[in-house]
Amino acid sequence: MARLREFEEALGVRFRDSGLLRLALVHSSFLNENPDGALESNERLEYLGDAVLGMAVAEELYAANPGWPEGMLTQARAALVQEATLAEAARGIGLGEMLRMGRGEEAGGGRERPTNLSAGVEAVIGAVFLDQGYEAAREVVLRVLGDRVSSLDEAAVSANPKSELQEAVQAEGLPSPTYRIVHEEGADHDRLFVAEVAVGGEVAGRGEGKRKSLAEQAAAAEALRGPFAEQ
């Protein structure tokens, strides 16, 4: 209970129904290993929180950037709600340590897995929405994201790892990067894709995401941090 209270302080909210918060922290792997424990995982709350998160971010961006056209607002929202951003925000509030998950998932690095962290953030937001409504959930969204919303500028919004990698390899006179999905797992509604990007036949980066396109972007981002970091 004390840990939940500390986590609520990090969120800046005190739940009326603490059961909603507990549910938001249940990973599906916990149910697989403890079928007589929790009745469900946080996946339904994740679905709800994803919608609330998108709305809250869109509203804030719209108000804060009156000169931005629709396309730029859309790109900015995508940058803020993407898996990597949410995972970073989750680490900032210690969410990984609060997740209830199976021993196998934990042993495999599940508490640091970006997909688990981002899903946990969305589930917590969904729980706040059910517990106290949209305005409270919106405040949590902005608190968890911190200054990431206000610090976005046009250059950051326009950043595209795949495009940047393409430019980098062209500058070196190398062939265009090629992408392939090397692994996928999970239920149809909760797939995880792993992609690799190769340049000149050599693997330059690897990444994962809930969609193939996100996995490819993550792979390109890794290549830009690695072999092509100085390009």
Q: Which residues are catalytic?
A: 50, 122
Count CA atoms within 13 Å of residue 121 on its CB side: 32
Counting Cβ atoms within 10 Å, is residue 40 exposed (0-12), middle (13-18) or buried (19+)?
exposed
Find tokens 């599940």 and name the residue. 110
Return the closest-CA partner of residue 226 out of 171, 161, 176, 160: 161
203: enclosing H helix or E strand: strand 202-209
At 160 the three-state DSSP class reads coil
Angle at alpha carbon of residue 78, lines to 73 and 82, rounded to 5°: 155
